Amino acid sequence: MLKTTVVVIGGGATGVGILRDLSMRGVDALLVERDDLGYWTSSRFHGLLHSGGRYAVKDKEAAKECIEENTILRKIGKQCVEATESIFVRAPEDSEEFEAEWVKSCKECGIYAVPMSMDEAFKLEPNLSRKLLSAYRCPGAAVDGFRLLWQTVASANKYGGKAKTYTEVIGIETVNGEVAGVHVRDRWTGEEYKIACDYVISATGSFAGNVAHLAGIDVNVKPSKGTLIAFNHRICNHVVHRLHPSSDADIFVPHGSITILGTSSIDSAPDDTSSETSEVLDMMNIGKVTFENLYDYRILRVFAGTRPLYSADPNAKGRSASRGFVALDHAHDGIKHFMSVCGGKFTTYRLMAEKVCDIVCEQLGVNTACRTAEENLVDGPSDDLMNRAKAVFPSYGAELAASRLGNEKLERVIKRIESRPETKELVCECENVTLAEIEEIASEPSSHTVSDLRRRTRLGMGTCQGTFCAYRSVGAVDKDDMPWAKDTVFLFKEFLETRWKGIRPVLWGNMLRDIELTRAIYDAALNLSGVDEIK
């Protein structure tokens, strides 16, 4: 049996933010996540670090929180953020009255909205539709969700915080109406055990209702599924918003060499991450109002996640439900020291954690103030370390590896390449991922599949979507005799099927030809006849 003061359930942005905050205040905390970090909502979004402009008219409090947290995260998580600025554009079908109200609201919320002529807008973004009528420059940025989550946990680790992935909570134990611990199951070994604790915080997003039910409590979370489209082009260099009330397919977010269009809003089950061709076509038809040549760009893949919307109104659904967050102290439901955190946005994850930890620490008698806005998640690499990295990594891979790995892992990877030069070989050419990086991440206790390596390194997330790096990565972990890599057929199937899931709804044009190459390699040449989705 393990013992800690606080168990945090959920390895998304809110959960890791709470773990970091508690750890920095000196509270012994352990996070458990039933899958990998960022497996659910916190990686299944458009990667937008909101400026608040989207909420300025409808929810000024949320808008003010976004612009404040946007500024903080650019500072403390700069290795995870691409500061692009945003451009809000109004199309002919968008309301001129709403534009005037939006400009006024942005000023009231402290969000700069600088008007520009359309000629200026077209110089900044040449691919914009020439039918657009007005444009404004605003704050805005793109954020790498996977990277920010792991860096937040790395920061928590420095203060004693711990995280266990693939650990599912199967029961919440109470004694005399007060939390005494949680019962968990290791999803790989099947081992079940108890973690004794004084406090439980459920930060499980769309699954908050499921977790609360383990304690016999109802929590009114209504998941809303959003589908997103990743294009294999940098269509824009700024985040581009439609200047109208929040709706479907009205945000384009550039990430490195790709662009993500999001999103839809469909009531769903918590674990519904499916996407249909009809959803993609609906989004494309809306998106082409902003970029009229949208169909000329190649789609890389589609993906979906659910928003954990909370509302006291049981009839509130989709975009009518609040994007704000709520901390539910279940002492009001008869169980002390059990809290559910619902709703919220990725941009405000740090602030949400601060507010939750203020409440929890007061109940635990801890008076230490929050410092998460003051300290960087990770330290930047030294000039000496970067010079060593540039000497061993191919092309611009040194910068990419530094941002993915952090200093300690980068140091180990450099030493690995220096001692075994063959490990500088690229396993994933699309994303510049070396064999040394694969070996480093594969050796960590949190790694169990090639998809786990993908979430840490971006393996298989580029143009070929795993066509070539799948057999290279499986071969690498098999050769290194990783304890979790004995069943290579399973590794192939798991990785290829996750890639196929995002390709299936967009099987037309070049994508259809590309998938035939994938079939030829894995179905014909390697005889992986059990990969059902590829057949």
From first to last of its 535 residues, the chain has per-residue pLDDT tens of 899 999 999 999 999 999 999 999 999 999 999 999 999 999 999 999 999 999 999 999 999 999 999 999 999 999 999 999 999 999 999 999 999 999 999 999 999 999 999 999 999 999 999 999 999 999 999 999 999 999 999 999 999 999 999 999 999 999 999 999 999 999 999 999 999 999 999 999 999 999 999 999 999 898 999 999 999 999 999 999 999 999 999 999 999 899 999 999 999 999 999 999 999 999 999 999 999 999 999 999 999 999 998 866 555 454 444 557 899 999 999 999 999 999 889 999 999 999 999 999 999 999 999 999 999 999 989 999 999 999 999 877 899 999 899 899 999 999 999 999 999 999 999 999 999 999 999 999 999 999 999 999 999 999 999 999 999 999 999 998 999 999 999 999 999 999 999 999 999 888 888 888 998 999 888 888 654 444 3
Structural domain count, the chain: 3
Numbers of helices and strands, H then E, in the chain:
15, 24
Residue 425 · residue 409 · CB < 8 Å: no
Residue 32 · residue 367 · CB < 8 Å: no
Residues 344 and 443 in one domain: no
Q: Which domain holds residue 522?
A: 383-534
Q: Is 52 domain-assigned?
A: no
User: How far is 80 from 146, CA to CA, in rounded Å?
Assistant: 9
Residues 126 and 253 in one domain: yes
For the chain, what is the radius of gyration of the CA atoms?
23
C-alpha closest to that of 286 among 304, 264, 269: 264
Give the residue from 239, 274, 306 where a domain finishes.
Answer: 306
Residues 341 and 434 in one domain: no
User: How far is 36 from 27, CA to CA, in rounded Å?
Assistant: 24
Residues 397 and 287 in one domain: no
Tell me which amino acid residue 78 is: K
Q: Is 489 domain-assigned?
A: yes
C-alpha closest to that of 405 among 371, 349, 373, 443: 443
Residue 79 · residue 232 · CB < 8 Å: no
Residues 202 and 344 in one domain: yes
C-alpha closest to that of 142 among 259, 16, 283, 296: 259
Give the helix ranges, DSSP H, for 159-266: 208-213
Q: Is 109 exposed, middle or buried (0-12, 13-18, 19+ CB in 10 A)?
A: buried
**Neighbour tally for 506: CB within 10 Å:** 22
3 state DSSP class of 479: helix
Pairing mode of beta strands 134-138, 86-90 = antiparallel
The token pair at 146 is: 């996977």
User: How far is 177 from 337, CA to CA, in rounded Å?
Assistant: 9
Residues 120 and 228 in one domain: yes
Residue 488 · residue 452 · CB < 8 Å: no
Q: Is 296 domain-assigned?
A: yes
DSSP category for residue 510: H
Cis peptide before 423 (omega within 30 of 0): no
Residues 152 and 169 in one domain: yes
3 state DSSP class of 405: helix
Residues 330 and 470 in one domain: no
Q: Which residues contact 399 (CB under 8 A, 6 or more apart)?
A: none
User: How far is 332 from 12, CA to CA, in rounded Å?
Assistant: 26
**CA atoms in the 13 A half-sphere facing the CB of 196:** 4
User: How far is 39 from 52, CA to CA, in rounded Å?
Assistant: 26
Instruction: Report how far apart, in Å, the C-alpha atoms of 168 and of each of 31, 67, 175, 263 are.
Output: 11, 35, 21, 29
3 state DSSP class of 150: helix
Q: Is 317 domain-assigned?
A: no
Q: Is 63 domain-assigned?
A: no
User: How far is 466 from 463, CA to CA, in rounded Å?
Assistant: 8
3 state DSSP class of 395: coil
Q: Is 311 domain-assigned?
A: no
Residues 262 and 124 in one domain: yes
CA 527 from centroid of its chain's CA atoms: 34
Q: Is 413 domain-assigned?
A: yes
Predicted pLDDT at 68: 97
3 state DSSP class of 313: coil
Residues 96 and 242 in one domain: yes
Pairing mode of beta strands 162-164, 29-32 = parallel
Residues 197 and 230 in one domain: no
Residues 213 and 236 in one domain: no
The token pair at 323 is: 């994007």
CATH number of the domain within which 89 lies = 3.30.9.10
Q: Is 389 domain-assigned?
A: yes
The token pair at 462 is: 């580029």
Predicted pLDDT at 509: 85
What is the reported pTM? 0.94
The three-point CA angle 154-157-161 to 5° equals 130
Instruction: Give the DSSP H or E segment for 31.
Output: strand 29-32
CATH number of the domain within which 195 lies = 3.50.50.60
CA 107 from centroid of its chain's CA atoms: 30
Pairing mode of beta strands 258-262, 221-231 = antiparallel
Instruction: Give the DSSP H or E segment for 34.
Output: none
